Amino acid sequence: MGGLSTGIPAFYERLGWERWRGPLSIRTDDGPVPTLQDSAMVLRLAATPELDLDAPMSAEWRPGEPW
């Protein structure tokens, strides 16, 4: 599975990427921190298991832009 965050989702949608509709959070040492990010997208690959695009998804914390 591929993942990205973008300000131009329509560009990626025409290439097969799908918007993640579920709640997003960033994982920290103190637990998950909800984020208002709404531009996360995924690209299903041949080996990608079934995805629920409405399920919660989290990412590891990193400096700069978490997503």
Domain limits for position 53 = 2-60
Q: Is residue 67 part of a domain?
A: no
Q: Is residue 18 part of a domain?
A: yes
Q: Is residue 56 part of a domain?
A: yes
**Strand arrangement of the beta sheet that strand 31-35 belongs to:** 31-35, 24-28, 57-60
Per-residue pLDDT of the chain (67 residues; tens, 9 = 90+): 999 988 899 999 999 999 999 999 999 889 999 987 778 999 999 999 999 999 999 988 888 776 6
Q: Is residue 29 part of a domain?
A: yes
User: Of 12, 14, 18, which is closest to residue 41 (Cα–Cα)?
Assistant: 18
Nearest-angstrom CA–CA distance, 45 and 30: 32
- Structure tokens of 63? 């400096």
Give me the number of domains the chain comprises: 1
Q: Is residue 66 part of a domain?
A: no
Identify the pLDDT of residue 57: 93
Whether 18 and 52 have beta carbons less than 8 Å apart is answered as no
